[in-house]
Chains A and B, each alone.
Chain A
C-alpha cells in the first residue's frame, strides 16, 4: 500500500500531524519537509520542532530557541497559493514557566518558580519534555492562526513515551503518594487503613534517608502551591491526549529500514490501533535504491572477481563491487520492510531514498517533500 501524503496535507479537515518514531531516523527533517510542502500547497503551517540539528534549524530561519513561532522565509508560491510556514523550537522550561504564570497570581508564581523541586521538574524530569510538547501543541491549536500544525516528537527512549509520558507525569503529580508522603502532618493515611499507614511510615522514613528531608519539604511546598491555583495536571494531559484522538489529527510514523527502528514503529502502530488513533502511514527513510540491471548479485560479484583475478580493470571491479554491496543492503532492507508489512498489511508505507548529502536548506527539504509525495518510487 502506498501513502498519499498530498491527500493528507491538502485535506482541510486535518489540522495536526504528529511525526513519531525512534531516535535518529530523521523525524525532525521529515516534519520540516512535510511543513514546507504543505505550505507550498497552500496551508498555513506551523512546525513545532523539539531538537533540530543546527543547520536544519538555520535552514528554517530558527537562529535561537525562543519558544515562539517564526515565519520561515523563502516559501515558493509558484502554485499561486497563499500558504505560509512558521517554525519554532520547544523550550520546555519556558513553556512550563508560562503555564505556571498564567494560572497563578504573581506572588504565588514567583514562589513556585523558585522552588528547587519545580526547577528540577521543569528542566530535567523524565516526561516533562513530552508533557510540554503536548501543552504547546494545545496552545498553538487554540491560537487558530494556523490551519495545520506539524509536531516533531521528543527524542525519547521509546516512541510511545510521547503518548504516555504526559499522563504518567500528570498522575504522578496529582497522585495520592505525593500527597501522603509530602504531608505527614496531615496524618499519613487518613482513610487508607492502619496497616497501609504503617507502610507509608516506613516509606517516608526510607525516603528521607535516601533523599534528605529538604527534598521532601520542597516537594510538599510545591504541591501545596500548585494545588490552590492550578487544578489537575492529569486533567490537562488528558485534554491534550483527547486532541490527539480527534479526527483532525494524523500520525505519521517515521522509521529507517533497520531492525530496531522498525520494531519501535511496529509498537507504535499497534498502540495507535488499540487507541483508535488515526494513522496516516509509515515513512521509511534512507532506503537504499539500486537501479535494475537484470543481473543477480552473484553474477555481478563473479564478474568483479574475474577482473581482479586477471589483474584487469581495477576501477571497473570496484564499481561492480559497489553495485553488489548496494544490492545486498537493499535486499536486507526490503526483507525487514516486508516483515513489517506482513504484520501490518493495512499500513501505507512510503520509502524515501537515502540522500548522498545532509539536508541543510529549503531546497533540500523541498526535494524530500517531493520524494514524500512521489507515489512512483519503486523499491
Chain B
C-alpha cells in the first residue's frame, strides 16, 4: 500500500533538533525514485539544504542537486520572502523595477514586518506555484514538491494563510492569491508530515501540532520518527539488563569464544551499556505507543551512527521506500 497517493505537495515540519531538513531531503530522494522529478524547497533562509548536500549556498533559482535510484532527479530551491514578493509584484502589477527600488529602501522588509502573514502567503504561494506548474507537454513540471517548513510550533499559522489574511486585505489580488493557495494546501494534494524523536517533549509537541492542524482542517500526513535506536535486545533481555540479571558467565564464555578476553572492563562496559540501552528503548517504546494511538502512518528511521551525510540520506530514503513511500 502506498501512502498519500494524491499528494503532490509534501510539507515537512518538526520541533527544532529533530532533523526536519534531513527528513525532507530524504523524502525528496525517496519520492524521486524510479524516474520522478522532485523539488526540495526551503523557506527560512537557513541554507540547510546546501549544507546537507554539501553544495554552495543556493540562489533563488531551481537547481538539480541529486539523482535518485532508477533515474530520478532531485531539484532544490531556497525561497526568501523578498524574492517571493518581487515575483508577486511582477506577476500581478508588472512592478519588478519599482519593486527592486523599494526593496533597496528596506520597504519589502517593512511590509512583511507589518504583516507577518504577508510573508507566509508569499512563501506558501511560491510552493503552490511550483506544484501547479506545467512543462511544455502539459505534464507537471515536478511530480512532487517537498517543503522544508517552519517548526511545529508555527506550522498551522504558516499554512493557514486564510486565517492569517483575516487582518489584511479582504479583497483584491492578495486575497485571491491566498484563496488559491488554500485550495491546494487544504486538499488531498497536500500531506503535512511531522518529524519527531521518541522523547517526551518532541512527542508532546507532535501530538499538540496534529490536534491544531486537524482543528484547522489541514491534511496531516505521516509521522516520521527519527533517530531511533533499533533494539539490540528483546523485551525479556531488556528487563534482565535493567535488573542486572544478564547471564554473566555465559557472556564471558561467548567472549572468550569470539577471540577477545572477557576483562572486567569489557564486562562492565557491556553490562552497563545494556542496561542504559534497555532503559532508553523502553522509554522510546512508551513514547511510540502514544503516537501509535493516533492511527496515522508512522515511519521509523534509525539513528545513523556515522551521522548524516549524502550516503546517510540515501539510506534513510531507502527505508522510507520500504515503508510505503513513493518508489512506484
Give the contacting residue for B258; candidates A307, A315, A325, A360; CB below 8 A: A307
Asked if B113 contacts A126 (CB within 8 A), the reply is yes
Instruction: Give the segment of B65-73, B180-188, B214-222, B275-283 that binds chain A.
Output: B275-283
Asked if A211 contacts B273 (CB within 8 A), the reply is no
Binary flags per residue of B191-206, CB closer than 8 Å to A gives 1, else 0: 0000000011110100
Q: How far is the CA of A356 from the CA of B257 in the complex (A)?
A: 31
Asked if B102 contacts A206 (CB within 8 A), the reply is yes
Q: How far is the CA of A306 from the CA of B255 in the complex (A)?
A: 10
Q: How far is the CA of A209 from the CA of B170 in the complex (A)?
A: 11
Contacts of A302 in B (CB 8 A): 259
Size of the B side of the interface (Cβ < 8 Å), in residues, is 74
Asked if B102 contacts A172 (CB within 8 A), the reply is no
A332 within 8 A of B: yes
Asked if A293 contacts B102 (CB within 8 A), the reply is no
Q: How far is the CA of A310 from the CA of B263 in the complex (A)?
A: 22
Contacts of B167 in A (CB 8 A): 116, 120, 215
Contacts of B118 in A (CB 8 A): 210-211
A105 within 8 A of B: no
Residue of B nearest to A256 (CB): B17
Q: How far is the CA of A357 from the CA of B279 in the complex (A)?
A: 7
Residue of B nearest to A310 (CB): B257
A181 within 8 A of B: yes
Asked if B114 contacts A318 (CB within 8 A), the reply is no
Give the contacting residue for A329; candidates B89, B107, B173, B305; CB below 8 A: B305
B285 within 8 A of A: no
Contacts of A155 in B (CB 8 A): 16, 151, 153
Asked if A212 contacts B265 (CB within 8 A), the reply is no
Give the contacting residue for B15; candidates A24, A172, A313; CB below 8 A: A24
For chains A and B in complex, what number of residue pairs have CB atoms within 8 angstroms? Answer: 198
Contacts of B102 in A (CB 8 A): 199, 202-203, 206
Most A CB contacts (10 A, CB to CB) among B93, B116, B305 go to: B305
Q: How far is the CA of A300 from the CA of B303 in the complex (A)?
A: 20
B310 within 8 A of A: no
Size of the A side of the interface (Cβ < 8 Å), in residues, is 73
Asked if B270 contacts A323 (CB within 8 A), the reply is yes
Binary flags per residue of B262-299, CB closer than 8 Å to A gives 1, else 0: 01011011111110110110010000000000000000
Contacts of B169 in A (CB 8 A): 209-212, 215
Q: How far is the CA of A240 from the CA of B223 in the complex (A)?
A: 41
A339 within 8 A of B: no
Instruction: Give the segment of B32-40, B134-142, B246-254 that binds chain A.
Output: B246-254
Contacts of B171 in A (CB 8 A): 212
Asked if A24 contacts B274 (CB within 8 A), the reply is no
B233 within 8 A of A: yes
Q: How far is the CA of A209 from the CA of B111 in the complex (A)?
A: 11
B115 within 8 A of A: yes
Q: How far is the CA of A230 from the CA of B254 in the complex (A)?
A: 76
From known contacts A181-B110, A210-B174, A212-B168, infer whether A358 and B276 are also in contact, taking CB-CB under 8 Å: no
Most B CB contacts (10 A, CB to CB) among A210, A307, A317, A323 go to: A210
Give the contacting residue for B115; candidates A158, A211, A306; CB below 8 A: A211
Contacts of A126 in B (CB 8 A): 113, 116
From known contacts A211-B169, A313-B257, infer whether A323 and B273 are also in contact, taking CB-CB under 8 Å: yes
Contacts of A369 in B (CB 8 A): none
Contacts of B322 in A (CB 8 A): none
From known contacts A209-B172, A315-B246, A358-B283, infer whether A306 and B258 are also in contact, taking CB-CB under 8 Å: yes
Binary flags per residue of A175-212, CB closer than 8 Å to B gives 1, else 0: 10110010000000000000000010011001101111
Chain A, range 103-137, C-beta contacts under 8 Å to B: 116-117, 120, 124-126
Q: How far is the CA of A51 from the CA of B266 in the complex (A)?
A: 42
B interface SS class: helix
B98 within 8 A of A: yes
B307 within 8 A of A: yes
Asked if B276 contacts A356 (CB within 8 A), the reply is yes
Asked if A293 contacts B232 (CB within 8 A), the reply is no
From known contacts A290-B269, A332-B305, infer whether A53 and B204 are also in contact, taking CB-CB under 8 Å: yes
Chain B, range 71-105, C-beta contacts under 8 Å to A: 89, 93, 95, 98, 101-102, 105
Residue of A nearest to B229 (CB): A325
Binary flags per residue of B221-262, CB closer than 8 Å to A gives 1, else 0: 000000000001100010000000011001101110111100
Residue of B nearest to A52 (CB): B201
Contacts of B132 in A (CB 8 A): none
Q: How far is the CA of A293 from the CA of B266 in the complex (A)?
A: 5
Asked if A316 contacts B258 (CB within 8 A), the reply is yes
Contacts of A356 in B (CB 8 A): 276-277, 279-280, 283
Contacts of A175 in B (CB 8 A): 110
A271 within 8 A of B: no
A299 within 8 A of B: yes
Contacts of A22 in B (CB 8 A): 16-17
Closest Cβ of chain A to B286, distance in Å, is 10
A246 within 8 A of B: no
Give the contacting residue for A157; candidates B46, B111, B268; CB below 8 A: B46
Asked if A307 contacts B254 (CB within 8 A), the reply is yes
Known: A211-B174, A326-B273. 10 other contacts (CB 8 A): A22-B16, A24-B16, A53-B201, A55-B200, A261-B17, A307-B254, A318-B232, A319-B251, A321-B232, A332-B307
Residues on A close to B: CB < 8 A? 22-25, 51, 53-56, 116-117, 120, 124-126, 155, 157-158, 172, 175, 177-178, 181, 199, 202-203, 206-207, 209-212, 215, 219, 256, 258-261, 290-295, 299-300, 302-304, 306-307, 310, 312-313, 315-323, 325-326, 328-329, 332, 356-358, 360
Q: 5 A–B contact pairs at CB < 8 A?
A: A175-B110, A292-B265, A319-B232, A320-B255, A356-B276
**9 nearest A-B pairs in the assembled complex, by CB-CB distance:** A24-B17, A23-B16, A313-B254, A212-B169, A316-B254, A356-B279, A303-B258, A291-B269, A24-B16
